[in-house]
């Protein structure tokens, strides 16, 4: 699998699937979650309500339509909320592993990932990047490209350095 890092808007990526850093309720939120719901339109929320009436467990993943985005699917993952005391790194790595498993089920060749849990959920960015890269390198998958997308320049530089280092 090719691992790439880009600086940009995850909602505008030309990929088969976009990964959403969702919350347990699966009803939209802030950060990446809010951006994906806004860009995808009401179809994303409607599909979340239909597929996940009771939400999704931390560390798990599931998919919905991508609505109005260029991608075909959104793969929703629920990362650990470190600021709320969820410090089990296994929950974070599980998000990437489960997202790749769901991508394989869907037949997605290119998948764009945010940095899960590294925003309002408070996971340190350097460890969040390391967790993503570890899983991309360890999971046996048919995904051809895992694309880490950074919205801001500083995070992009951290990702780029970690990938090349």
| Residue-level pLDDT at 101 | 98
Per the annotation, the verdict on 152 as an active-site residue is no
**The predicted structure's pLDDT at residue 111:** 98
Q: What confidence score (pLDDT) does residue 156 get?
A: 97
Q: What is the pLDDT of residues 8-50, one digit of tens each?
A: 999 999 999 999 999 999 999 999 999 999 999 999 999 999 9
* 114-154 residue pLDDT tens: 999 999 999 999 999 999 999 999 999 999 999 999 999 99
pLDDT score of 165: 81
Per DSSP, the residues of the chain read -EEEEEES-GGG--SSEEEEEE-TT-S--SHHHHHHHHHH-HHHHHHHHHH-TT---TT-EEEEE-TTSSSSEEEEEE---GGGT---HHHHHHHHHHHHHHHHHHT-SEEEE--TTSSTT---HHHHHHHHHHHHHHS----SEEEEEESSHHHHHHHHHHHH-
Q: What are phi and psi of 77, to 5 degrees?
A: -125, 150
- Find the domain containing 17 and state its range: 2-164
pLDDT of residue 19: 98
Which two tokens mark 70?
């260029």
Per annotation, catalytic residue among 16, 33, 47, 60: 33
pLDDT at 7 over 90: yes
CATH number of domain containing 104: 3.40.220.10
The overall pTM is greater than 0.95: yes
pLDDT for the residue numbered 104: 98
Number of domains forming the structure of the chain:
1
């Amino acid at each position: 699998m090719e691992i790439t890092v880009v600086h940009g808007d995850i909602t505008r990526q030309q990929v088969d699937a976009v990964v959403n850093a969702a919350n347990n309720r699966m009803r939209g939120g802030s950060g990446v979650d809010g951006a994906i719901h806004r860009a995808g339109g009401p179809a994303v929320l409607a599909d979340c309500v239909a597929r996940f009436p009771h939400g999704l467990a931390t560390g798990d993943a599931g998919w919905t339509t991508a609505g109005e985005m260029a991608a075909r699917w959104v793969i929703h993952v629920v990362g650990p909320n470190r600021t709320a005391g969820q410090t089990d790194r296994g929950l974070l790595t599980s998000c990437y592993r489960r997202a790749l498993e769901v991508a394989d089920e869907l037949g997605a060749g290119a998948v764009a990932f945010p940095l899960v849990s590294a925003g309002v959920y408070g996971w340190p960015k350097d460890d969040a990047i390391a967790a993503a890269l570890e899983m991309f390198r360890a999971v046996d998958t048919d995904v051809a490209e895992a694309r880490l997308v950074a919205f801001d320049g500083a995070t992009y530089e951290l990702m780029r350095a970690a990938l090349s280092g």
